[in-house]
Amino acid sequence: MIQNVLSRIGGVDMYGVISICLFFAVFVGVLVWTLGLKRSYLNTMRELPLDGATAPESDADLTAKPKDRYD
């Protein structure tokens, strides 16, 4: 039944080509972005969980009790 419906829609074969091209473009974009990252940024992000520093002041609301947030 689905094959019958899809065969009656004009240009449905282009959806497969468009989706593969879109996937490939996103994949290449992420690959280029990843390869373009600076080594110093990667080292900083790698050591961030082990830093032991306290949370920034802007995130102080996240540690509040739930009833305090909604009152």
The predicted pLDDT at position 10 comes to 74
Q: List all residues 6 or more positions away from 6 whose beta carbon is below 8 Å from its beta carbon.
A: 12
The answer to whether 21 touches 29, Cβ cutoff 8 Å, is no
> In tens digits, what is the pLDDT along the chain, a chain of 71 residues?
667 776 777 777 788 889 999 999 999 999 999 999 999 888 888 888 776 665 555 545 555 555 555 54
pTM comes to 0.52
The predicted pLDDT at position 49 comes to 75
DSSP letter at 53?
A: P
The predicted pLDDT at position 7 comes to 73
